[in-house]
Amino acid sequence: MPKIVVSEFMDEAIAREVLGEFDLVYEPTLVDDRDALLAAIADAQAIIVRNRTQVDAELLDHGPNIKVVGRLGVGLDNIDLQTCEARGVTVCPATGANDVAVAEYAISAALMLMRGAWQATDGVIAGHWPRTQSMGREVSGKRLGLVGFGSIARQVATRASALGMVVSAYDPYLATDDPAWSDVTPATLDELAADCDVVSIHVPLTDETRHLIGAGFIKRMREGAILINTARGGVVDETAVIEALRDGRLGGAALDVFESEPPDAENGAAFVGAPNLLLTPHIAGITEEANQRVSLVTAQNVLKHLG
């Protein structure tokens, strides 16, 4: 009977319901024990991962019978796609399953950071009444810039438009006559930086996009603009973000992803005291509903390749 190893968390009930006919090893802690993971996949035909398990040549050497990698999400930078292709291993991302969750996070972050009132909690508890300091801005009438205009970014655009925002997007890979542009203004990166009140990142991490949003881009952004990254940490230069927040050039930032996850003590300390900063642990695409959708899509993808 084919063996499937799950090395990171998914909806266990869905995994067992859909994949119950197989030899299923559901051990989400394997991601933190590389030796145990390599031992577990020795006779496996499939592995299901999120973004922390490194599916590389070493792993595939220890799992020579692996036919399919189920990815609980869409980012593939932790998977060596060239080696998988060379060895005939199919990689199946859960495309579209967490789009809504990420879009809602991005919009929520924009609302929180633009308004700023949620930073007043400690002051109110202490008996202060910081009304003037808590007077933020509305998103209605502001311009949202999307770096990348794939399915997640389009969900963000729909919600932003409903709130009265004007939307621009940068995506050099999307044809100019694509219907997706009907309610969104195409723009260059320089135009996004100069014209947008909120910039949200929605591109994969590649050699081309690493530090795409760096010190130069941030310096060109409008003073007081908001930056949101739910894509991959390496796309944004974290040091440049921190400096811009401390200098008051950036009005706020929400980072759900980091170059090192979780940030080590030194990297984490660099964020301390930066104003109007929201940090979350790579959770934008994970809600109860999204986890169920992602788990179901991934389990079905693996079933299709092993069934």
Which of 227, 230, 234 shows the shortest CA–CA distance to 260?
234
Q: State how far the Cα of 40 lies from the Cα of 30, in Å rounded to an integer.
A: 9
User: Using CB atoms within 10 A of its CB, is residue 116 exposed (0-12), middle (13-18) or buried (19+)?
Assistant: middle
Within 10 angstroms of residue 278's Cβ, the number of other Cβ atoms is 17
Is 232 annotated in the active site? yes
Dist CA 39 CA 30 (whole Å): 10
Distance CA 219, CA 278 (A): 20
Q: Does residue 259 have an active-site annotation?
A: no
Candidates 50, 159, 222, 282; catalytic one: 282
- Among 261, 289, 293, 305, the active-site one is 261
DSSP single-letter state for residue 92: E
Which of the following is catalytic: 143, 222, 232, 293? Answer: 232
Starting at the edge strand found earlier in the chain, the sheet holding 3-6 runs 23-26, 3-6, 46-49, 68-71, 90-93
Q: Count the helices and strands in the chain (H runs, E runs).
A: 12, 12
Please say if 131 is a catalytic residue: no
* Torsional class of 233: left (φ above 0), alpha (ψ -120 to 50), beta (otherwise): alpha
Q: Report the sign of the C-alpha dihedral through residues 89, 95, 101, 107, in that order.
A: positive
Cα distances (angstroms) measured from residue 36 to each of 7, 27, 64, 83: 10, 10, 16, 22
How far, CA to CA in Å, does 183 sit from each of 22, 73, 83, 158?
Answer: 47, 27, 40, 9
Q: Which residues are catalytic?
A: 232, 261, 282
